[in-house]
Amino acid sequence: MKWIILITIGIFGGIFGGMGMGGGTLLIPLLTSFGGVSQHAAQGVNLAAFLPMAAVALIIHFKKKLVEAKTALLVALPALLTAVPAAILAGYCSGGVLSRIFGGFLVLLGIWQMVSAIRAKKEP
């Protein structure tokens, strides 16, 4: 039964990840809440699933000319440089701390999206 839950979680993560909406934003909470996976393992599974998912989605988005190369480089290079220290730091954090940091990130992201939507609605 657990494998059915994990496959279903993977399907939803793949759908949102393929759309470029950050499948991990959905995948990590689903794995920890319903899949019985620890926070550290969920983040690791997310990274392992993200690589092939991102490669396929990136190829498709490039073919459709939906990627601005300059913008992608301006985001990707600093992200690559900070990923290693952040991964090392995450290894020293407890699962509870990682869960709170991730939860706080999701709350801030939700607030940002809500404020952006309200501002866009007010503009003519």
Segment-wise mean pLDDT, segments of 10 residues, the chain, 124 residues? 88 78 80 90 88 85 92 92 91 91 90 92 80
| CA–CA dist 52, 43 (Å, integer) | 15
Cβ burial, residue 37 (10 Å; 0-12/13-18/19+): buried
Nearby residues of 4 by Cβ (< 8 Å), 6 or more positions away: none
Instruction: Count Cβ atoms below 10 Å from residue 71 Cβ, excluding itself.
Output: 9
Domain ranges (residues) in the chain = 2-122
Instruction: Count Cβ atoms below 10 Å from residue 40 Cβ, excluding itself.
Output: 16
| CA–CA dist 87, 96 (Å, integer) | 16
Give the per-residue pLDDT at 115.
94
